[in-house]
Amino acid sequence: MFSIELSVNAQRFLDKLDKHLRVRIEETLKSRLENNPVPSGSRFVYRDVDSNKVFRCRIGDYCALYIVFENEKIILIAKIDKRSRVYDGP
Each residue's pLDDT tens digit, 4-51: 999 999 999 999 999 999 999 999 989 888 888 888 888 888 887 777
Residue type, 46: Y
CATH architecture of 3-82: 2-Layer Sandwich (3.30)
- Give the pLDDT band (50/70/90) at residue 89: low
Interacting residues of 90 by C-beta distance below 8 A, sequence separation 6+: 9, 79
- Give the pLDDT band (50/70/90) at residue 90: low
- Give the pLDDT band (50/70/90) at residue 88: confident
Residue 41 CA to residue 8 CA, distance in Å, equals 25
The residue ranges of every structural domain in the chain are 3-82
**Residue 59, SS3?**
strand
